[in-house]
Every structure is written in structure tokens, then in C-alpha cells.
Amino acid sequence: MRFSKILFACALLSTVFACSNEPTVEEENLSDQLIGRWEVIQALRNDQPTETMTDFYLEFGADNRMTSNLNGAAEQVPYELKDKVIHQKSDRMPVDFNIVDLSDSLMVLTMSMRNTNFRFTFQKAMAEE
């Protein structure tokens, strides 16, 4: 009887500590993979190719700040990565980018803005030496 109480207490404590706000290993890996400059190689607006976003890029720093030219001019803003969503914390244009796929060299993001759905495929830019 005593053993089962100890086992139950251990299980309960494991559950409590597993529910903390610490980032998961997967989130930490995603965060590390994000760092750098990403340049769009394909942009879809409502599932149709668009040529108006050919110069779009995102650049992520290790300091949880990103640079984006989504609105036409480069703007540096804070961001948060949570549950495979990049929350761009801009006063002018807050945006949530959903991570569909992320590897060392390619990233696919989706987002909605003004009732329009977008899907972007980015290629990681080579680091300048």
C-alpha cells in the first residue's frame, strides 16, 4: 500500500513538472534553426502565385528580434516562437507566421492578413564572410 502511494506521488510530481513553461527541446531546436536571413523563393496569395513579394525576407536574431520587410520597408521588431508559431510583435503590423516546415535550408510559413491567406517558401541565405 505504501509503495503504491509513493508511486502515485512520483507520477503526480512528474506531471506537474512536465507542464512547466520551459521551452521544449523541439521549440529550442526550431529557435536555433530560425536564426539567420531567409529570402522568399515562392509566394502564394490565396493559393495563387504572386510576384509582388519577390523581395520579401525575414531575418531572425538570437536576441528574439527579427527584421522583416513585409510592409515594404525593413522593420526590426521583437518576436516570440511558441507552438510552431512565430508571433511578430509589431505595433504597426502584428503578424502570426505558422511554421509548416523548417529545415537547415528551407522554411515554409503560412499567415493570414486582411482576409487573405499567404504561403511562403524561404531559402536560408548564405552567411556573408
- Given a contact cutoff of 8 angstroms between Cβ atoms, the answer to whether 58 and 38 are in contact is yes
State whether CATH 2.40.128.280 applies to domain 25-124: yes
For 109, other C-beta atoms within 10 Å of its C-beta total 22
Question: How many residues does the structure list for the chain?
Answer: 129
CB 6 within 8 A of CB 94: no
Residue 121's nearest CA partner among 53, 61, 31 is 53
Please state the rounded mean pLDDT for residues 69-83. Answer: 91
Kindly tell me if the per-residue pLDDT of 1 is higher than 70: no
Rg value, the chain, Cα? 19
**pTM (predicted TM-score):** 0.76
Task: Report the distance separating Cα 89 and Cα 83, nearest Å.
Answer: 16
Q: Tally Cβ neighbours within 10 Å of residue 101.
A: 9
Give the mean pLDDT of 19-29: 54
In tens, the pLDDT along 90-125 reads 888 889 999 999 999 999 999 998 899 999 999 999
Q: Give 37's pLDDT tier (boundaries 50, 70, 90).
A: very high
Q: How confident is the model at residue 4 (pLDDT cuts 50, 70, 90)?
A: low
Domain boundaries, the chain: 25-124
pLDDT of residue 20: 45
State the virtual CA torsion across 71, 74, 61, 40 in degrees, nearest 10. 60
Q: Is the pLDDT of residue 128 over 90?
A: no
